[in-house]
Structure 1
């Protein structure tokens, strides 16, 4: 798991160590090329599971995900 959440604080494991953010300061996004949820930390996408994305939004992160459809031109389906 790349994300740990404690008391509305998010801990992200990255290549350079651990990044810490308050959950309300984090936005969960959808990367349409990979059809995965991610968060943007210092300009780097950290890919997360849907369970992690849901846990982040419950802890106060902004849910900026888009649902991709087979008819969308950027869909991998």
Structure 2
């Protein structure tokens, strides 16, 4: 997992620049439309998340700011 949530609802992220910590209440989960993935922004970068990680973050208190994407192209897998 990219993220670990401790008993104090502090989220620990593994990033290319090392470990980052944030309280869940300070996080907003977003949708990256180009990658069609959920992510959180940390220090100007994005940490991409699985749906299980998103669920855990929202339970811990993160804001769910994701957007539902629709398929608009004929060859879309959505």
Same fold by TM-score greater than 0.5: yes
Tell me the equivalent position of 1:69: 70
> Does the residue aligned with 2:72 lie in a helix, a strand or coil?
coil
Question: What's the TM-score once normalised by structure 1's chain length?
Answer: 0.90
Q: Which residue of 2 aligns with 1:14?
A: 15
| Partner residue in 2 for 1:43 | 44
The Cα offsets for residues 23-61 of structure 1, whole Å up to 9 and x where unpaired, read as 000010000000000000011011010110111011000
Report the secondary structure of 1:68's partner residue: coil
Which residue does 1:54 correspond to in 2? Answer: 55
Gaps of 5+ in 2: none
Larger radius of gyration: 2
What is the number of equivalent residue pairs in this alignment? 75
**CA positional deviation for 1:71:** 3.4
Runs of 4+ in 1 over 4 A off after TM superposition: none
* Equivalence for 2:3: 3
